[in-house]
Amino acid sequence: RAIVVKIQGYFDAWQALLLKPDIFFKISWLCRKYEKSVEELKEEMEILVEKKRNRISVAEKLEDSMDFTTELILAEKRGDLTRENVNQCVLEMLIAAPDTMSVSVFFMLFLIAKHPLVEEAIMKEIQTVVGERDIRIDDMQKLKVVESFIYESMRYQPVVDLVMRKALEDDVIDGYPVKKGTNIILNIGRMHRLEFFPKPNEFTLENFARNVPYRYFQPFGFGPRACAGKYIAMVMMKVTLVTLLRSFHVQTLQGRCVEKMQKKNDLSLHPDETSDLLGMIFIPRNSDKCLDH
């Protein structure tokens, strides 16, 4: 929990840095709070990565326990990365991955609870592609309905609906002069609701049935700074959904839906956790027992 609070503080600081006007950062007492939040999470990372460094230095065999942080530490040992690079990469993974993933899956479960025909199509596909065995990596490409459902959910109810860039040079974009240093906010949430989709304001798999306008569908951002986890995120979401849905039918409390859910929109769009009725009921398939979460 202590780390989660520090991540929250880091997010607040990051948001201020991206959104507040430059004059804000000339007022030192206003900045101090944010600098402290950034430092606290960095220190936490230093401690965690240091523990990992110690474990690696006494490990007899590394091949069996290679992971992202170990790879980074080995790159540091080879001189390809600095200590600061390693800590920052781990920090960014920590803040970029769990929240986006978990909130996306949360919205998806809410959506599936309200769309029984979509659920039926997904269940049919799971039965045909995976059957009763464990899910495997070669199933990923075959889960086309699940994939369309994930895309349509991210289009209709995105977790990240803005991406930002800073103009490095004076530029002209679509006829608009843009001065060097200008912060540019790209409203991908709005872009996903344009006429390029057959039914932009409806949740329907028809929107991804054919001719997907990928140019206008960018839930993971785009260019060299696009989401570093976009492929693994798709795999994780497919595996999570298949594993959950093959065992449980999901219901929301009092028929709640994403459209009426109270949300907060800072750097990401997420449910307002202080509001009621965000829980869900998981009903085991082929059984009358309910798990109320």
* Minimal distance, residue 106 CB to ligand HEM, in Å: 11
When the beta carbons of 129 and 163 are compared against ligand HEM, the nearer one is 163
Q: Return the residues of window 205-234 that contact ligand HEM according to CB under 6 A.
A: 219-222, 225-229, 232-233
Please, which residue, 237 or 251, has the CB nearer to ligand HEM? 237
Maximum separation of any 2 CA atoms in the chain, in Å: 64
Q: Say whether residue 283 binds ligand HEM (CB under 6 A).
A: no
What whole-number distance in Å separates Cα of residue 159 and Cα of residue 269?
5
- CA separation (Å) from 52 to 40, 72, 73? 19, 11, 9
9 near ligand HEM, judged by CB under 6 A: no
Nearer to ligand HEM, 101 or 257 (CB): 101
Q: What is d(CA 48, CA 65) in angstroms, rounded to the nearest whole number?
A: 17
Least Å from the CB of residue 289 to ligand HEM: 30
- Return the bridge partners of 185, or none: 164
Least gap, CB of 41 to ligand HEM (angstroms) = 15
| Shortest Å, Cβ 33 to ligand HEM | 24
Binding letters toward ligand HEM, positions 145-164, x by CB under 6 A = --------------xx--x-
Handedness of CA 175, 178, 184, 185 (dihedral sign): negative
* Contact positions with ligand HEM (CB under 6 A) in 160-189: 160, 163
Does the annotation flag 227 for ligand binding? Answer: yes
The interface with ligand HEM within residues 88-127 (CB under 6 A) comprises 92-93, 96-97, 100-101, 104
Total H helices, total E strands in the chain: 9, 9
Q: How far is the CB of 234 from ligand HEM (least distance, A)?
A: 8
Helix extents (H) in the chain? 2-19, 28-58, 68-78, 83-96, 98-114, 116-129, 144-156, 188-191, 230-247
Taking the complex as a whole, the smallest distance from the CB of residue 275 to ligand HEM amounts, in Å, to 22
Closer to ligand HEM by CB, 9 or 158: give it.
158
Encoded amino acid at 154, one letter: M
Contact 148, 155 (CB under 8 A): no
Question: How many chain residues are in contact with ligand HEM, going by CB under 6 A?
Answer: 21
CB closer to ligand HEM, 123 vs 186 = 186
Nearest-angstrom CA–CA distance, 207 and 200: 7
> Rounded CA gap, 123 and 131, in Å?
10
Opening angle at CA 53, ends 49 and 48, nearest 5 = 20
Binding site for ligand HEM (CB under 6 A): 92-93, 96-97, 100-101, 104, 159-160, 163, 219-222, 225-229, 232-233
Which residues does the annotation place in the binding site for heme? 227
Which residues does the annotation place in the binding site? 227
